[in-house]
Homo-oligomer: A and B are copies of this chain.
Amino acid sequence: VEQGDAPRLTALMEPLHPADIADLLEQLDQGPRHRLIALYGREFDGEILSELDDSIREDVIGALAPDVLTDAVRELESDDVVDLLEYLDEPTQEAILEVLEASDRVAVERAMAWPDQSAGRLMQREVVTAPERWTVGDAIDHLRASDDLPDQFYHVVLVDPRHRPVGHVTLGKLMAADRVTPLADLVEPSFRTIPATQDEEDVAYAFNQYHLISAPVVDDAGRLVGVITIDDAMIVMNEENEEDLLLLAGVGDESIADRTLQIARQRFPWLLVNLGTAILASVVISQFDEVLAALVALAVLMPIVASMGGNAATQSMTVAVRGLATRDLTGNNALRVLRREVVAAGINGAVFAVIMGVIGTIWFGLPMLGVVLGAAMVINLLVAGLAGVLVPLTLDRLGIDPALASGAFVTTVTDVVGFFAFLGLAAIVLL
């Protein structure tokens, strides 16, 4: 396909959704990607830009011919342009703002005035409103008379004389009701407004928790400034979930389209932190070099204690981090969750202590080695349960994303405690 046959390429790409074309561009290397864009030429749709991953969006914009870019951007709704601009550098932002028509540019610039990742950035500005005293008939006549209704809308928002939203009516109810019914009789019980400065993560939480379909956005004075719909909230929720997953694994904001050097550079700091904690664990081990020299079996078995503690801690920690993200773990039940994690870890610790005690005894023929191994296992799993909950909770209290930093702290604790408990007990009991 890539042999310069532009009409054939266009024919092949025609049935594809912009999101699929964006995925295709993300999967290509830079060279073929630019050739494809050049060939595709004027057919390039603005929505493809919206669908692209941040990491290659700038690259694609740079590869577009200026007139193609102008057409593509002008096709987009103003909230999509805002979304597009958010992750671009200044010069590219300016270039795009310049090609917009004046009215769109004002709308976009006003949206960009809201904080990063806030409801104000996420919302669309076009809202269908009706005065709160109108009847169904008034609203329908008004809708049929307007000629620039938004592409997608699901509710008519009722506003008071000061343009503050007081309720909303679904289009379905509007359709089904008598013309004389007051709109105020049809409002949805699930109505909620969202402050424009609210973080988009909290917006996504509200949509998911209360099954909202759309919600009006208000400024500090409570006046209607826009509306957020569930499809935008779904995208945010998916991104936040992805972020937590990657952060917990020590991967930053990374995508499958990133280049090798970028990847290596982004992962380096996490590995460096891990190196620091690993060296700390080694320092603990080095305190016991005489014990190790006297009994090599200790060196053979000690990674088991550390590894089991690390695993148990990761389990507790992940449940705690997820609980914090979904607000299922709160100040009210923190103590109960902590107690439960520690007791559960203690139960498993006791079981594994017996298993390992037996294995250690048989393997090296030293019953006391088995006892030491079992005791260290119980201690380390208890500490794992404790640290797995306390570390994320503490980070959250300090205003740090618990997904970001919990892993390093928690495994440091279990490594250090594991080696110290095992080798320390061995030094006392076996020598």
Pairwise interchain contact B175-A150, C-beta atoms closer than 8 A: no
A45 to chain B, nearest CB (A): 12
Q: A144 and B176 in contact (CB under 8 A), knowing A170-B152, A304-B278, A344-B267?
A: yes
Pairwise interchain contact A348-B312, C-beta atoms closer than 8 A: no
Pairwise interchain contact B259-A340, C-beta atoms closer than 8 A: yes
Among A35-43, A104-112, A227-235, the one that faces the other chain is A227-235
B190, B261, B355: the one contacting A275 at CB < 8 Å is B355
Pairwise interchain contact A304-B279, C-beta atoms closer than 8 A: yes
Residues of B within 8 A of A304 (CB): 275, 278-279, 281-282
Residues of B within 8 A of A235 (CB): 208
Residues of B within 8 A of A210 (CB): 17, 19
Residues of B within 8 A of A340 (CB): 259-260, 263
CB of A303 within 8 A of chain B? yes
A276 to chain B, nearest CB (A): 10
A50 to chain B, nearest CB (A): 10
Interface size on A, residues (CB 8 A): 115
Near B by CB (< 8 A), chain A positions 382-426 give 415, 419
Near B by CB (< 8 A), chain A positions 269-300 give 270-271, 274-275, 277-279, 281-282, 285-286, 289, 292-293, 296-297, 299-300
CB of A34 within 8 A of chain B? no
Pairwise interchain contact B213-A231, C-beta atoms closer than 8 A: yes
CB of A92 within 8 A of chain B? no
Number of copies: 2
Q: A234 and B246 in contact (CB under 8 A), knowing A299-B285, A330-B27?
A: no
Near B by CB (< 8 A), chain A positions 198-215 give 207-211, 213
B144, B211, B286, B337: the one contacting A256 at CB < 8 Å is B337
Residues of B within 8 A of A3 (CB): none
Most buried by B among A235, A318, A359: A318
Q: List 29 A-B contacts (CB under 8 A).
A: A19-B209, A19-B211, A23-B327, A144-B175, A149-B172, A154-B154, A154-B171, A154-B213, A211-B231, A230-B231, A237-B237, A242-B326, A250-B315, A251-B319, A256-B337, A261-B347, A264-B343, A264-B344, A267-B312, A268-B348, A268-B351, A271-B311, A271-B315, A275-B304, A275-B355, A285-B300, A285-B303, A292-B299, A296-B299
For the complex with contacts A149-B176, A213-B231, A259-B340, 12 further pairs of A-B residues with Cβ separation under 8 Å are: A128-B172, A154-B154, A154-B172, A208-B238, A234-B234, A238-B241, A241-B242, A264-B344, A267-B312, A268-B348, A271-B308, A275-B352
